Structure 1
Amino acid sequence: MSLDNHANHDADLHSHGDTHGHGSMKGYMIGFVLSVILTAIPFWLVMTGALGDTQATALTIMAFAFVQIIVHMIYFLHMNTSSEGGWTIMALAFTVVLVVITLSGSIWVMYHMNINMMPQMAAEAMGAM
């Protein structure tokens, strides 16, 4: 077998096989501009105190964060609902479930630790007797 023939042997089996499109420069620029806007607006809201109410500001920032997550998944991670992307969506759903379980469990534990370990209240109750 010649060296030239051996180098080209089964070249099709070693290709990447990526048939889905990776992003274009236009797509990346749209994602970048949207990301900058979705970061600058909450920054401006906090720095100027435009909403006045801290709860409204926090909810607005969370809404912008959610939209920015969607922008990143579409423009940078190239996630879509096509049949080829089914496993990607399944992995995303699994990740969301794990994050929700972890966050809710952590909040639950911290809440109960705070309630059950308040020494200043026990000392005040003893002093009142």
Structure 2
Amino acid sequence: MEQNAKGFPINHVIGFLTSLILTFAAVFLAFKTSLPVKAIIGVIGTLAVIQAGLQLYMFMHMNEGEDGKANVINIAYAFFIAIVTVAGSIWVMSFGHHM
């Protein structure tokens, strides 16, 4: 991310404001609409994924570095670990009491 001549990180401000807009959109959707619960959960999940991608790009500098391939591999590994952790936790909480 480049800064302008005065050193003000405008890209970070834009990313922050966009994240706020996505958050407020999710809050509005949850509290002010009469959509079915499954639809609300789906849209909020989609907004969350978009916001996570935005934050990775704007704040974690995913587009910087000498080797962009390493960044992609690291993110894929992080998602794999997150999925295994969540799925394992759900599995243990659901079926662990039988043991």
Q: One-letter code of the match for 2:24?
A: A
| Partner of residue 102, structure 1 | 85
Distance in 2, Cα, partners of 1:23 & 1:51: 43
Query: How many residues align structurally?
Result: 94
Unaligned runs of 5+ in 2: 4-8
TM-score, L = length of structure 2: 0.80
**For 2:40, which of 57, 67, 91 is the aligned residue?**
57
Q: One-letter code of the match for 1:59?
A: G
Distance in 2, Cα, partners of 1:68 & 1:23: 21
Matched, 1:93 2:69: no
Distance in 2, Cα, partners of 1:78 & 1:44: 29
Matched, 1:47 2:31: yes
C-alpha displacement at 1:101, in angstroms?
0.9
Q: One-letter code of the match for 1:68?
A: Q
CA 1:67 to 1:102, structure 2 compared with 1: closer, same or farther past 3 Å? same
Larger of the two Rg values belongs to structure: 1
Task: State the secondary structure of the residue aligned to 1:78.
Answer: coil
Task: State the secondary structure of the residue aligned to 1:80.
Answer: coil
1:3-39 CA distance string (max 9 Å, x none): xxxxxxxxxxxxxxxxxxx443221122112101110
C-alpha displacement at 1:86, in angstroms?
2.5
Distance in 2, Cα, partners of 1:63 & 1:80: 22
Matched, 1:34 2:22: no
Percent identical among aligned pairs is: 28
TM-score, L = length of structure 1: 0.63
Q: One-letter code of the match for 1:35?
A: S
